[in-house]
């Protein structure tokens, strides 16, 4: 039995990332939160104001015997646009930037390799702007953000923004998340 590991990703609204990663085989939990900024214990309002420096992120706890870190990276790059700086769709600001917060040198190397591979394959029409940074203090977002899609799937934002990402994930990764 392998030990669980964590991965932290920022790529737009954390509700979107959480909803998708929660469906990946081998993912044990997904928590929405904040990372990368200057303010301790930030609130959603402070992060949205853009002055905290934090990014909306998800902390993914996974079993590497069931899903490899590289597969999580593949999911990450599939469900958001890594070529837009500080924006995902209508969500704009530094709190929505594309970033991978690595927990180890191995995660850093794999993230760098994933970007190099996508760039070489010309997977996107524009350059990838995803930052790769060492993980910092993770601050858990407020309770109402946790499992947001599961409790609000009929809300307009969920229907128009999250549901298409889920469909894209299911089409590309259904039954394909074993290492």
Residue 6 confidence (pLDDT) above 60: yes
Predicted local distance difference test score (pLDDT) of residue 124: 97
Beta strand 55-62 with 27-35: parallel, antiparallel or unpaired? antiparallel
Predicted local distance difference test score (pLDDT) of residue 173: 86
Average pLDDT, the chain: 94
Cα–Cα distance measured from residue 99 to residue 85, given in angstroms and rounded to the nearest whole number: 10
Average pLDDT for 82-89 = 93
Predicted local distance difference test score (pLDDT) of residue 138: 98
Domain range summary for the chain, segments of one domain joined by +: 5-173
For 127-142, the pLDDT digits (tens) are 999 999 999 999 999 9
Length of the chain, in residues: 179
**What is the domain class of 5-173 according to CATH?**
alpha beta
- The residues carrying an active-site annotation are 13
Residue 178 confidence (pLDDT) above 70: no
Cα–Cα distance measured from residue 27 to residue 163, given in angstroms and rounded to the nearest whole number: 19
Predicted local distance difference test score (pLDDT) of residue 176: 58
Predicted local distance difference test score (pLDDT) of residue 174: 73
Torsion of Cα atoms, 147 then 172 then 133 then 17, to 10°? -20
| 151 Cβ neighbours under 8 A, 6+ residues apart | none
């Amino acid at each position: 039995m392998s030990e669980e590991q964590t991965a932290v990703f920022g790529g737009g609204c954390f509700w979107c990332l959480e909803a998708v990663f929660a469906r990946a085989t081998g993912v044990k939990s997904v928590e929405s939160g904040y990372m990368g900024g200057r303010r301790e214990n930030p609130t959603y309002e402070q992060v949205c104001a853009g002055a905290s420096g934090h990014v909306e992120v998800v902390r993914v706890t996974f079993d590497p015997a069931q899903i490899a870190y590289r597969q999580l990276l593949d999911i990450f790059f599939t469900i958001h646009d890594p070529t837009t700086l500080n924006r995902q769709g209508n969500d704009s600001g530094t709190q929505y930037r594309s970033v991978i917060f690595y927990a180890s040198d191995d995660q850093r190397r794999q993230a760098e390799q994933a970007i190099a591979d996508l760039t070489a394959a010309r997977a996107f029409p524009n350059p990838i702007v995803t930052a790769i940074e060492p993980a910092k203090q993770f601050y858990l977002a407020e309770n109402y953000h946790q499992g947001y899609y599961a409790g609000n799937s009929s809300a307009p934002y969920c229907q128009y923004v999250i549901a298409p990402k889920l469909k894209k994930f299911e089409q590309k990764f259904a039954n394909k998340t074993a290492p």
